[in-house]
Chain A
């Protein structure tokens, strides 16, 4: 229990440190209530008639944007590009997909190979398939208990014969 409490405190401390570091690196950043004269967080537009996030307007030559880095204000500001092409859009999704999709693909292939291998071993254990691999992967324990000792011996002999045959064929 003390370790769980410690983990919770560490998590809260990490959040607090992140907020403090962010506030120190970007002194102007803060959470404020939305008012009529609140500027657009992305482009600094403060026309007093906010378009909302779902209806971003086209550049109209009237509304001015304030550059968040240089502080200049212009109707032709590149802030329009930020507002139209970047703000409130999942611009980094492609990279996430490029990481997640190969991972999912590799895991799916691994599971597929693992499952098919297990299925083959299961068939060998039932005596459906007798291959060279059964001599290594299907010991006597996998032979059904109902088989007699003689049957087990025959199955092992067949396995070993197949193994020898495969060995000779590979060697040739």
Chain B
């Protein structure tokens, strides 16, 4: 993992946390930020494609599957209950009584799985940030000495 990737992942987390609190932003803002969060999370998933699965990573694979299913369910159901994003395009969706509970459940599952994901991955990201910082400091010292 590189420093830029770690910083981008931190931005993804912040965008998600804002999107996950519609009480703070209001529902219309929540809908558009949620779409933006899906885009950056999609970039994160594609960029992390090399580490999604592999030998000896059954637990991580299971967690990623839960994250993927919850994210897909949350995004699709969110679009289907949209009261601002869809109407801004002149559209509306039927089936509210089905999609609304699904959106609530999927959001909770996504939040819980993301907390686990962050707890598992945060040490590696912090180590990358810290290592890079130390390397930069020592390089600076070397440059000063010579």
Contacts and interface: CB of A to CB of B under 8 A. Distances in A.
Contacts, number: 132
Nearest to A8: B46
Contacts of A17: 72
A29 B52 CA distance: 33
B92 A32 contact: yes
Nearest to B23: A93
B125 interface: no
A8 B96 contact: no
Nearest to B97: A68
A100 B17 contact: yes
What's the interface size class on B, roughly?
Answer: 35 or more
Interface string A51-64: 00100000000000
B136 to A, nearest CB: 19
B127 interface: no
B73 interface: yes
A71 to B, nearest CB: 11
A26 B98 contact: yes
Nearest to A4: B49
Contacts of B84: 53
Contacts of A41: 81, 83, 92-96
Interface string A5-43: 111101100110111001001101111111000110110
B23 A97 contact: yes
Contact of B47 (A4, A14, A90): A4
Contact of B95 (A7, A29, A38, A103): A29
B39 to A, nearest CB: 11
Interface residues of B, dominant DSSP: helix
B59 interface: no
Interface string A76-109: 0000000000111110111111011001000000
Interface string B12-50: 000001001111101110100000000000100111111
21 contacts: A3-B49, A4-B47, A4-B49, A8-B46, A11-B68, A17-B72, A18-B76, A29-B95, A30-B94, A32-B93, A32-B94, A38-B92, A53-B28, A88-B83, A92-B104, A93-B23, A94-B23, A96-B20, A96-B23, A100-B17, A103-B115
Closest A-B pairs by Cβ, 9 of them? A29-B95, A93-B23, A7-B49, A90-B22, A26-B98, A4-B49, A14-B72, A68-B97, A3-B49
Given A28-B95, A41-B96, 20 more contacts: A8-B45, A8-B49, A10-B68, A11-B42, A11-B72, A29-B94, A29-B98, A29-B99, A31-B92, A38-B92, A41-B81, A41-B93, A41-B94, A68-B97, A86-B100, A87-B96, A93-B21, A97-B21, A99-B111, A100-B17
